[in-house]
Chain A
Amino acid sequence: MRYMPFAVALAWGCVGGAHASASLEALIRKADLVLRADTAAAVIEMKVKTSSYSRTMKLVSWADDRGQTKRALIKILGPALWRGYGTLKIGAQLKLYNPQNDNVTVVGNSMLGDSWMGSHFTNDDLVKETRLASHYRFEQVRTWQADAPAGGKAQYYLINLYPKPTAPVAWGRIAYTLWQRAGVVIPERADYFRKANDKRPQRRFEFTNVKALAGRLLPTLMKATVTKKPGEYTTIEYKHLKLDLKIPAGKFTEQALKR
């Protein structure tokens, strides 16, 4: 499976289906198509709102999903307090760079539970390879017609994703809402449940601002909320995106992380 820049992929955790029932697989494959690329680079705006602070950050993200080892680099572009901070992911290894004292930290398991750049994602979220296709099996709950955000009528699907037995995912179920119109499938919402039969999700991702970017119609704003912390959220918005680009050599090295 190929992914979008991983800062998004980590939240999206999308999508592709090898073992799903044929129609669902096709559907999710299409949704995946929207977000899928061998390589991607994007300028992203991240907003974090918590009970004690709110901040907005610009960041650039590079991702290469070819090959066994997925690689990604994120650099913070601003504001000043965080400009130059970097995160390098090579496979399951995560390195953090702090420009203030020119220090690279390898994230060991004692830091995995820490929040990433103060957002609602943890380092662990970034480390984990979430492959919906190989990690989950699908089950359609229902389908209906409604107005699509991009205009016109769309066919909506609510699909339950259950982790496959050995998949290293800590969720019991993901309820995935997506819609299809004119051959394009767009994700709308993903609810993450602790246990398969839980009524209340612990996490929710909402995908909005569907518009054309990098030649594709896709949701450009993603909002993550945590049920345990009402009123708090992290949003990620694409400002600029390029897919299947040629990534400069040496992008996923410690030098690039520090640069």
Chain B
Amino acid sequence: MIWRLAWRSVLRQRRRTLITVIAISLGLALILFSVGMQIDTHQTMIDLGVRMGSGHVAIQAEGYQQHRSLDYLLSGSRRLLAQLRQLSGVRRAIPRLEAAGLVRAGESSAAIAVVGVDPSEEQAVAGLARKSYRRRGRYLSADVRGNRPADIYIGSGLAQTLQVGVGDRVVLTVSPLDDRANSSAAFVVCGIFRTGVTELDSFLVQLPLSAAQQLLSVGDGLTQIAVLLEDGDSARATAARWQARFAAQHGTAMRREILPWQVTHAELYDGLKLDKNFNYLIAGIIFLIIAIGIFNTIQMSVVERTRQFGVMMALGTAPRRMFALVVAEATLIAIVGAIVGLAIGLALHGLMVRYGIDIETMSGGVDSYEFGGVALTGTLHSRLPVPIVALWAAIIVAITLLSGIYPALRATRLRPVSAMRHS
């Protein structure tokens, strides 16, 4: 009964309803669009960051995070890797061995960070190894033989400093931990990457893990195992759980630090948090304005219908029912607005999923955008999990309802006689 009445009065002011619905749906669509883009961007950045960097969870010898030196080697790494790979929830366990070194080609040399990696693992993980970063050549080959130099994968900045291209030889010198007797070996540039992050492009090289271990004479030692989880959101909890389990198993005899990406990639984490808060702020503004608009519309419709309400009251309609009527009207507008907003928002989302926005166009000719130590390249898409869509739609309905409450209360406070006198 109330719904039919509400529906009728909403339809009576077709144009006004339409405009209100447009405002709601426009707001919702924009929010869905920006949230979708943001979720995708953030997920992409986290995903990229952890793939290139320390995984969702990093396992290191205690102290490595602070000192970054070969004095803090992860022992028993082979068994640890095998164990990790059997754990449920672990997507990949990536061995890494990092050290400082000097790379030289002819007269030119550069100080760099050397990372020994498992090439097939890295290709599966698609961090720095991903194709979109590759400018030239190919990725590392795992095939390390004594009779030819192992591969080295270098950044475009370094390639420029050293004046080398794919197929060129370079000599890498590192200081193994024992007595800092330097050890050198020749490598052949197999490929050149460009990520847009200077720290990587100019100061990082990758080698096959076995070659790095041999060069650094660390046996099967690693500096880090980066773990990719099935569920990246559980990084903190997983790290804490593992740390506790490890402590229970080994006591204080062997110390390891098990850190979630929020710690190992603190810059990225803070950056994303900042960006998210900006988006919430903007969503808040839009909602506030929508709320005011809806408030005004409903208020007007109540005032307009003062006489009608007066008559209804005089005929014995309970104030509660009057209140319900106005709220029902607001609800209808909200639902229609939400549905249209969802339709537009999801259509935009669909477009973005399909086509996306090219970073190069967006940032005016720069092909990557660095933020928090991760460079985005290629095309940004949209990602909208159902709960998020439902949440924002619910928020907008709730806000519409809230905006209807005051005018609804006003309707109940009308006095029948004076109300009827109202022109």
Contacts and interface: CB of A to CB of B under 8 A. Distances in A.
Interface of A: 90-94, 106-110, 112-113, 122, 124, 127-128, 163, 165-172, 192-195, 202-203, 226, 228
Contact of A92 (B101, B169, B182): B182
B181 A169 contact: no
Interface stretch (B6-14, B81-89, B144-152, B348-356): B144-152
B90 interface: no
A170 B148 contact: no
Task: Say whether chain A's binding surface is mostly helix, strand, loop, or mixed.
Answer: loop
Interface of B: 100-102, 104-107, 109-111, 146-149, 163, 168-171, 173-175, 179-186
B171 A168 contact: yes
B180 A113 contact: no
A50 to B, nearest CB: 15
A122 B108 CA distance: 11
Pick the 5 closest A-B CB pairs, nearest first: A194-B106, A93-B181, A168-B184, A165-B148, A170-B171
12 contacts: A92-B183, A93-B180, A93-B182, A109-B111, A110-B111, A113-B109, A124-B104, A127-B173, A128-B184, A170-B186, A172-B106, A192-B106
Most A Cβ at <10 Å: residue of B169, B171, B185? B169
Contact of A113 (B111, B149, B163): B111
B182 A112 contact: yes
A109 B149 contact: no
Nearest to B180: A106
Contacts, number: 95
A109 B175 contact: yes
A127 B180 CA distance: 12
B102 A109 contact: yes
B77 to A, nearest CB: 23
B107 A109 contact: no
Given A93-B179, A166-B149, A170-B104, A122 B185 contact: no
A163 B186 contact: yes
A92 B181 contact: yes
Given A113-B111, A170-B106, A194-B105, A108 B175 contact: yes
Contacts of B173: 109, 112, 124, 127-128
A232 B109 CA distance: 19
A51 B221 CA distance: 46
A135 B1 CA distance: 96
Contacts of A128: 171, 173, 184
Contacts of A194: 105-107, 163
Contacts of A90: 181
A40 to B, nearest CB: 22
A227 B183 CA distance: 28
Nearest to A135: B186
B111 A203 contact: no
A64 to B, nearest CB: 16
Contact of B147 (A165, A170, A202): A165
Nearest to A91: B181
Nearest to B112: A109
Nearest to B150: A166
A240 B333 CA distance: 102
Contacts of A166: 146-149, 185-186
Nearest to A167: B186
A94 B253 CA distance: 35
A170 B180 contact: no
B102 A168 contact: no
A195 B182 CA distance: 25
Contacts of B106: 170-172, 192-195, 202-203
